[in-house]
Structure 1
């Protein structure tokens, strides 16, 4: 065992030890976080059962969601919170029986499946229903009931059979929704799109404080509780922050309209953390406790299945989905297993530290899983939803350029192993979906980024933010430098919105959808640009 591995194991032991000490006398963050690591599993606590007939307020204030569609099943989610801005959602520490229904029609005249599930206080009264026995490639409607209350109706769909030949598939990619930076207007438009699935690529929430007027939202008709005006650190902090975000009507509308496939980036826990290394100088065991709290709250508030449920500070989020023979989606986690950033977190001159072949963005196990999955794939399109910019991105068109150490540019050997693995596996149509940077990009992925004439081996579409960065601009201040420094960059736009991608057996088309403002609600949406890449002939052409 290496010294690094031994140190990591010792840190985890300390974190779990602190988690078992349910009655710490110490003060500070470690004491506050200890409960997050080792909460009892649902059903192990002796919580009483709540009489749902006594529910005096609507418990479905956070809406409904579905996710991770499979050919015969889909995951349904809701969380009971009659008073969402209060700890525990305004419910006592008691079990609640929740009914659910899945139907072929929105009026529920033809019910396909129904049942009951227990909402446990240990999981903040969230429920995750893995509905099986459904038909493949079919639209369904669903709802929940608790006492006399009925949830909003959600719409979802199952995936086609693994070997099915389907004509087309339309998805959307979204990322980065800082509540305090503006309204989630893009989600209102996204809810109206005709989509098979939405891929959320990270920064679903931000750990930063949200003041009483909602930051840039500048509420004049209400005030947010003071407990939102601090950084999220404890499990209760993260749970309350999800309640704030989930109560947004535009986000709720998008979740109710489409199944989501989610993965995280950094802000769901802490800005720019890398593996077990925090952003700031806090004790490593304390950060693991914070990570455990963040991971648990993430699972509680997302439409994820039981295999994704965290164990302390660890959570297996990378996973694979298939849509017939048209597309395979390999969803990555580029935050939990990565090496610490070289030379700090920002834009730096590359050097021996960043170019060390031992550095990894994915960790060895996830990298092997990805490459093995490609070797077994018979899909027309191999799509990789992940977090940070994959293509090389120089900041200046001069020899003194710098690169982002938090993106794949800070891990070039890791990126090259991925590209070499795709070529060795015979992946002809590689599409990378990315978030993080609050702008929209379209890149040709080059065999040699130093040679613009080298072979194009894939395509990257970067979804701009939903709200992070406030309103943005069509041409950010560095637009000229970045476009001249990176000839493989085919598009760059700094406004808010999302990207839709339509796949057929012949081509992939990306439409970059932008809104004019997010600091005021209700802005219209338009298409900033559209690009296509042909199957078997990588390279972007503007429509």
Structure 2
């Protein structure tokens, strides 16, 4: 069941002097290879006729033991484009079946959609069997959508043999093609895909990346600020064939980070928001949240947040955080702000208490925590000046190299200390943080105090997944991948002994496999984000043994 209580890159981007380049292709792949996995379809091109169409695919999300949330968007007439406010109210029927031919229906129903919800459709279906694969589709006006596949969670009293979750984050449209989504769509072994934030970006065209480096053009071309803007941006993202394929193949579990609103968002503003010139921040947040919950297969938690809890039997539960709605402003170190001030918070008091109590009460072997920004502390030693600037851009640190990342938990150390001490003092084992945001792969042991590692055992593990497309170090400095960045990687590991591995150049995704004995993260990289048909390869794997202990490297991904 779900359980919640009441409770992003910088505007200034390093200049680039060269045209877009193509990264080395790891393996060739046809662009359409995974668009129809196991008979699944994607929405076809825009219809010229006046009748309805399903142009934005189908999706499912937030799986429960007895149900799942279904989603689609109907275009009732050609003029009813996302954010337009046009189009007649229309009844949409949905079906859930035990087979892909829809011969054995498990549930069906209908909903009326209108411009009030941007013609998006959600059906929170219940009465299904635990740990079961289902197929679903929608119909309206004689038109049937593509079919989707979904899967319910294991029953509460069952310990599954294994669970497998993909993790992704940071998909900037103009930075490249969403090949990572295509490769995930081709898999048939996932319980769900966990999206850790920056599903969409707010920037206008040519802002990030810069005009000379963009691979394709975003819509709307201006920075999104209003409800119609955010609706149009979400709608444009969901025209991507690879994104549609992933949604059609697996249920999605998503949280937001800053770019769903504006870069470096906090409760009272954002780095990429100018009061007055760009309107009222609270109004912008309301618009962004409304569009998000309309367009994403996500159940809104209390007070319109994304922090909530999903359970997967006795093997694992997943605690999902909202680290933008309640946080104080990021500290300005040059102005004398104190990062460990106990009056400053990232989570908000209510959310932190909710998380601590949930971790304590959990009887699962594995307690996953979806956090949009990195928990582990990161300090910098002797990083060369020419690499410090791109690292500062990605990590949100001052260009002078101060050893703190103020947009992440490094800028809110009192919250972090309280949370990690809670794990230590209560003997809570099996905590695994799943993280996105910084466009790098990392595998971290998480100590209560970095200075005591490795003498003290870590209290958790953290698996950070790189971006789907958003620029990382080699993109920013215009260098071949895995060349100049290796210097910075060595320096980061030397200054942070709990960082077991870091890859600053790859784009890709992770696949976390859980059993009663261990949690293993397999890291993958796509070959060339500028090539829609690029391949993928396994990079490295780390596993955490159940019952405590440190990360261990393993050679092979889980079969």
Which bin holds the TM-score, normalised by the shorter protein? 0.7 to 0.9
- For 1:508, what is the secondary structure of its paired residue? strand
Contact 1:199 1:261 in 2 (8 A): yes
What per-residue deviation string (whole Å, max 9, x for no partner) do you get for residues 417-472 of structure 1?
A: 11122234432111000000011111000132012222111100001100111775
Is it true that 1:515 corresponds to 2:526 in the alignment?
A: yes
Shift of 1:92: 3.6
Shift of 1:115: 1.1
Q: Structure 1 residues 191 and 83 mapped into 2: Cα distance closer, same or farther (>3 Å)? A: farther
The aligned counterpart of 1:269 is 261
Contact 2:197 2:257 in 1 (8 A): yes
Contact 1:82 1:90 in 2 (8 A): no
Which 10-residue stretch deviates more, 76-85 or 354-363? 76-85
What per-residue deviation string (whole Å, max 9, x for no partner) do you get for residues 151-209 of structure 1?
A: 11111011111121111000011000000100001100011222001110000100111
Is it true that 1:363 corresponds to 2:348 in the alignment?
A: yes
What per-residue deviation string (whole Å, max 9, x for no partner) do you get for residues 49-90 of structure 1?
A: xxxxx9735521110110000110100001113688974477
The aligned counterpart of 1:439 is 440
The 5 A counterparts of 1:49-64 are 56-57=50-51, 59-64=53-58
Distance 1:133 1:454 in 2: 47
- For 1:339, what is the secondary structure of its paired residue? coil
Gapped runs of 5+ residues in structure 2? 1-47, 384-399, 476-480, 555-559
The 5 A counterparts of 1:273-352 are 273-279=265-271, 280-283=273-276, 286-305=280-299, 307-308=300-301, 315-343=304-332
- For 2:432, what is the secondary structure of its paired residue? strand
Which 10-residue stretch deviates more, 90-99 or 460-469? 90-99
Shift of 1:211: 6.1
Equivalences, count = 476
Contact 1:179 1:214 in 2 (8 A): no
TM-score (structure 2 length as normaliser): 0.80
Q: Structure 1 residues 431 and 302 mapped into 2: Cα distance closer, same or farther (>3 Å)? A: same
Distance 1:242 1:467 in 2: 17
Is it true that 1:198 corresponds to 2:193 in the alignment?
A: yes
Is it true that 1:122 corresponds to 2:116 in the alignment?
A: yes
Contact 1:217 1:519 in 2 (8 A): no
Q: Structure 1 residues 57 and 209 mapped into 2: Cα distance closer, same or farther (>3 Å)? A: farther
Is it true that 1:259 corresponds to 2:251 in the alignment?
A: yes
What is the CA RMSD across the aligned residues, in angstroms? 2.6
The 5 A counterparts of 1:94-493 are 94-193=88-187, 194-210=189-205, 218=215, 228-279=220-271, 280-283=273-276, 286-305=280-299, 307-308=300-301, 315-343=304-332, 353-396=338-381, 401-452=402-453, 453-469=455-471, 472=475, 473-474=481-482, 476=485, 478-493=488-503
Gapped runs of 5+ residues in structure 1? 1-53
What per-residue deviation string (whole Å, max 9, x for no partner) do you get for residues 460-515 of structure 1?
A: 00011001117753463622221211111111112100011000000011000101
The aligned counterpart of 1:533 is 544
- For 1:495, what is the secondary structure of its paired residue? coil
Distance 1:150 1:109 in 2: 15
The aligned counterpart of 2:18 is none
Distance 1:84 1:325 in 2: 48
Q: Structure 1 residues 521 and 155 mapped into 2: Cα distance closer, same or farther (>3 Å)? A: same
Contact 2:84 2:228 in 1 (8 A): no
- For 2:507, what is the secondary structure of its paired residue? strand
Q: Structure 1 residues 57 and 484 mapped into 2: Cα distance closer, same or farther (>3 Å)? A: farther
Contact 1:180 1:214 in 2 (8 A): no
What per-residue deviation string (whole Å, max 9, x for no partner) do you get for residues 86-115 of structure 1?
A: 744778442110010000111111111111
Determine which structure has greater relative contact order: mean sequence separation of CA pairs < 8 Å that are 6+ residues apart, divided by chain length.
Answer: 2
Q: Structure 1 residues 85 and 260 mapped into 2: Cα distance closer, same or farther (>3 Å)? A: farther
Which 10-residue stretch deviates more, 121-130 or 423-432? 423-432
Contact 1:128 1:304 in 2 (8 A): no
Contact 1:496 1:515 in 2 (8 A): yes
Shift of 1:400: 7.2
Shift of 1:352: 5.9
Which 10-residue stretch deviates more, 504-513 or 186-195? 186-195
Which 10-residue stretch deviates more, 277-286 or 85-94? 85-94
Distance 2:298 2:133 in 1: 19
TM-score (structure 1 length as normaliser): 0.83
